[in-house]
Structure formats: C-alpha cells, structure tokens
Amino acid sequence: MNQRDELHRCRPLIRHWVRSWNVSGVTENITCEWSSRLLRSLGRAYPQRMLVRLSLLLKEPLYSSLFEEVLCHEVAHLVVFQLHGRAATCHGPEWQRLLQLAGFEPRRSYITDAPPAKRDRAFVCYDHVCRICQTKRTARRPMRNWRCIACQNAGLDGKLIIQSRPVNRKVSNAE
C-alpha cells in the first residue's frame, strides 16, 4: 500500500478520539476504506459492519482538508450505534457531543450520509454547493455534471458537493 495514502492516518486518529470519548474497546475493529462510488457524500458509516467508507473526493485538494472531520463524523456514528443501538437518532445529541469532544462543530451540511434512497423521492431535492465560493444551485435530481462556472473560470475544477434534503426544509448545521 502507498505509504502516503491517507488511510494510514485513520488508525491513530481513531485511537485519539476513542481516548477522549472514553469508549475504548468499542472501536477496536473499525475498518476504513476508500470508495469510488461515494459522490453524494464524503463519507458513510455502516454501523453493523463497523465500517467507514470514505469518498475518493477526499484525496482531491479541494476536499482533503476535510479528511479528519469526515472520518470523525463517520466514526462517531459507529460509536453511537455501539453505545445506544437504534435508540439514538442519526445526528442527535449523542453524536453531536462526540464531535464536539473531538473539537469539531457537529455539522452535517455537506457530509450528509443518510442513504437518499430511503427517503421519499418526491420530497427530496438536491443542493449543489461549491466548497470554494459557496454558490448553491438546487435541483430535483443530483446533477453530477454541474460545475461552479465562476470557479472554473478562475482555473479551478469547479466541482460541487451534492447534498439531498427535504424539499420544504432548509438544511441546518445541527439537528
């Protein structure tokens, strides 16, 4: 494996957070892997498999600074599931507290990881947000070909983060 691959950072980071969360033992067997198919979100947690998938987008300069936050976001989902099972809501107070303890603002705006397929399509729309200039366009379907024109004109790749949300509600940073 490439020594410079970001995945080698997962183990020590997780160990560090687990210590600050005081939940050692819970997370011994977490697996982290890249996914080339995660495009709508930067990461996804699979609590029953103790698995975190990270989008290959995190290798790109535009998103690489988010690596630790996304990893923490997903690992916190695994820990909440281990501690509370299905009793805890996805981005509820237990999850938020773990993010705060790790030093992150518990936001979920561009790293939504709830599978959109589970929602009623009629009530879902998709925000396409430029991480550089925050320009946002909304569509009823994920438009993977859309780019931020302003940023493209400035020589950047103009890639947008696509995030689904209920049609009649604004996305907030907290539950």
List interacting residues with Zn ion (CB under 5 A): 113, 130, 132-133, 135, 148, 151
Please report how close the Cβ of residue 127 comes to Zn ion at its closest, in angstroms.
14
Among candidates 126, 91, 115, which has minimal Cα distance to 105? 91
In the complex with Zn ion, the residue whose CB is nearer, 108 or 142, is 108
Contact 113, 162 (CB under 8 A): no
Q: Please, which residue, 18 or 81, has the CB nearer to Zn ion?
A: 81
Q: How far is the CB of 134 from Zn ion (least distance, A)?
A: 7
Report the distance separating Cα 82 and Cα 15, nearest Å.
16
- Residue closer to Zn ion (CB basis): 78 or 151: 151
Question: Rounded to an integer, what is the distance from CA 111 to the centroid of its chain?
Answer: 3
* 70 alpha-carbon distance from chain centroid: 5
66 vs 130, beta carbon nearer Zn ion: 130
Report, in Å, the least distance between residue 3 CB and Zn ion.
Answer: 29
Q: How far apart are CB 108 and Zn ion at their closest, in Å?
A: 5
In whole angstroms, what separates CA 130 from the centre of its chain? 16
